[in-house]
Structure 1
Amino acid sequence: MIAFFIQIKCQLGKSYQVANALADAEIASEIYSTAGDFDLLVKFYIPPETDIGHFVNEKVQVIPGIQDTRTIVTFKAF
């Protein structure tokens, strides 16, 4: 499995709705609320043959209330 993170900026007042929608979709491993430029930090695992770009576009960015995303691809956990 490939692990990666997405920082999500939500529309004002929509952070909890977005987090709940991600949890209900059962596509995220972990969902955290954060302070700063982004509202949520979400960890995902996908099979190696899955295209990260398509996954982000088709599974994440379509969730209502998301304003912006930043994808962080990871290499190795220590």
Structure 2
Amino acid sequence: MINAIVMIDAEAHAIPETAQAVADVDGVTEVYSCAGDVDLIAIVKVRDHQQIAEVVTQRINKVPGVVNTATHIAFQSYSSADIEAGFSIGE
């Protein structure tokens, strides 16, 4: 599974509607509204890189209210449980 984080600039007056429309896109598992440099962050989980291109460029970018996107591909996932397990090796 390939994970991508898509940073989305949205039209300010339509952020809730845009967020819901992005959340309804196949391949998008979560959408967060946030403060900071971007309006929304979408988590995309698909089987291959070609699907990321399809989800972002052919679907998310065409959602009404989406102004701009920047996509980051995740290489490695870490969680507090993973970190604790790493420190307990050999005990």
Interval of TM-score (by shorter of Structure 1 and Structure 2): 0.7 to 0.9
- 2:61 matches 1:61: yes
* Residues in 1 aligned to 2:42 and 2:20: alpha-carbon distance in whole angstroms: 12
1:24-63 to structure 2, matched below 5 A, reads: 24-48=24-48, 50-63=50-63
Q: CA deviation at 1:50?
A: 2.8
SS of 1:37's partner is: coil
Structure label with greater radius of gyration:
2
What amino acid sits opposite 1:68 in the alignment? N
Structure 2: gaps of 5 or more residues: 79-91
Moved over 4 A (4+): none
Structure with bigger helix share is 2
Q: TM-score, normalised on structure 2? A: 0.76
Structure 1: gaps of 5 or more residues: none
RMSD of the TM alignment (CA)? 1.5
Give the fraction of aligned pairs with identical amino acids, expressed as a percent: 28
Q: How many residues align?
A: 78
SS of 2:50's partner is: coil
What amino acid sits opposite 1:13 in the alignment? H
* Residues in 1 aligned to 2:38 and 2:48: alpha-carbon distance in whole angstroms: 27
The higher relative CO (CA closer than 8 Å, separation ≥ 6) is in 1
